[in-house]
Chain A
Amino acid sequence: MTSSNAVVDVHGLEKTYGKANERQYQALKGLNFQVAAGEFVGIMGASGSGKTTLLNMLSTLDVPTKGDVIVNGHDVTKMRGNQLADFRAQEVGFIFQDFNLLESLTAEENIGLPLALKGTSSKIMDQAIHEVADTLSIADLLQKYPSELSGGQKQRVAAARAIVHHPSILMGDEPTGALDSTSARELLDLLTTINQEQHMSVLLVTHDPFSASFCQRILFIKDGLIGSEIRRGDQDRSAFYQQILNELGTFNE
C-alpha cells in the first residue's frame, strides 16, 4: 500500500513500553497512514493517546517495537547511530513546543546549525540564512540571543532553523503550545505559507483545534490507533474548525 509520492509511510507501527517480564504498556497498537508530498497533515488526540510517541518514532528519537516507518524513501527503523543523526539533520525539520534554541548562540548561529552540520560553505550558508530570515521576517533579529526574543520570535527562529536546509518534511510538536494567540496565529500562517510556496510537507501534532484547522487533513488518534480522519477539501478555515470541533465531540465519547 505504498504510494509512490508519499513522504511518510507508516505501516503496522507498534510501540510497547516496559520489558517483557515487567508490566507493559502498549502506546501504539498498529498504526497505518501516509503523508503525500506537499501535504499539510495534522495529528490530533487527547493526552496519552500516543501522539508524542508517534512523533518520536517518525523523527527517530525513539525506536518502534514493530512495524515500518519510511520517510522520503528511507526506512528509519533500520537505521543506526550516525545514519539516524544524519537523517534527522538532513531529512527532517523540527519545531518543538519549547523552541529548543541554543541560548549560547545568536539567532543566526541557531538557524545556521543544520547547514554547519552538513559542512556547507559559509558563503552559501549566509545566503540561505538571509533568504529564510526574509521569508519569516526575522532579518532584524539575527544578531540577537534567544534570551532577548519573545516567545513568538523564538518560535519563528526555530521555524527558520527547521527549514533552512530544505528538509523533505517539517514536523511540529505542539509548536503553538507556548505562544499567545497572536503569535500562534502568525506561526500557523507561516507554516501554511511554507507548505504552499515551498511545497514542503508539514506534519503537525497538536491537541488544539485552532492549530489543526490550518491543516488539509487530520488524523485522530485514540488509544494507540487511528480512530478517524477528516479532510478540509474546499471548505474555508472556520468551517473546517467547526468540523474539527464536531469530530472531537463525537470522537471523545
Chain B
Amino acid sequence: MNGTIVGGWEYIWAAYLVTWGSLALYALSLVWRARKAKSGEPQPGSKP
C-alpha cells in the first residue's frame, strides 16, 4: 500500500493471452468463412 503496484503479472499475462487467443480464433473463423463463401458460391456473375 505504498502507492505503487508490485507484481501483478498474472493480470498482464491474462490480458495478453486473451488478446492473442481471441485474435487467433477470430482470424481462423474469418478465414474459414471467407473460404466457404468463395467455394460454395455459384458465381452468377452479377453484382447486386
Do A and B interact? no
User: Which A residues are closer than 8 A to B by beta carbons?
Assistant: none
User: Which B residues are closer than 8 A to A by beta carbons?
Assistant: none
